[in-house]
Structure 1
Amino acid sequence: MSGHDDHPDVILCAGGPMLLRGDHVIEDADGTQHRTVRPISAVCRCGKSASQPWCDGTHKLIPKQRRP
């Protein structure tokens, strides 16, 4: 935990992105590492975002039964 005992560091949104709270480093499909810079960062889980590895809301266009 990042000091927020009442708030988890990672939240999986049903049918949507993974939210990361605080300082994290994630690795994209090409192996490039990205450090989170916002208080809460949304990471794409559907694989369709144009701004990978970040979520751009594209998951909303995918039929619900095919979302993560």
Structure 2
Amino acid sequence: MSVEPQGPVLVEGPVEIVMEDGTVARSDRFVVAVCTCRRSRIQPWCDTSHRRRERADSPRADSPRADSPPEDRKPR
């Protein structure tokens, strides 16, 4: 097993994880990345959402963000 700082736990598979609601998530892969940051949209598996977290040196909230669409492409 391997733990990445602020990232997933890598577990040798196959893996079965019992979720809080009692459902079972299964993977037959030889290595499985289990989300620990709780940002993944495919819980309990990691989708690399931990890589997109805000950094302390990111732009201010009132300034245009680099990932926002150009003004002429915004939905109306």
Q: TM exceeds 0.5?
A: yes
Shift, 1:46, TM fit: 0.6
Runs of 4+ deviating beyond 6 Å = none
| TM-score, length basis structure 1 | 0.67
Structure 1 spans left out of the alignment, 5+ residues: 1-9
**Unmatched runs of 5 consecutive residues or more in structure 2:** 57-76
- Higher-Rg structure is 2
CA RMSD of aligned residues (A): 1.9
Residues 17-58 of structure 1 deviation map (CA, whole Å, 9 limit, x = unaligned): 011112221122322111221111111101110111110010
Match of 1:12 in 2: 3
Compute the TM-score of the two structures, normalised by the length of structure 2.
Answer: 0.61
Q: Distance in 1 between matches of 2:30 and 2:55?
A: 28
Q: Structure with the greater relative contact order (CA < 8 A, sep ≥ 6): 1 or 2? A: 1
Contact (CA 8 Å) 1:49, 1:58: kept in 2 or not?
Answer: yes
Number of residue pairs matched? 56
Q: 2:15, 2:32 within 8 Å by CA — same for their partners in 1?
A: no
Among 28, 44, 61, which residue is 2:19 paired with? 28
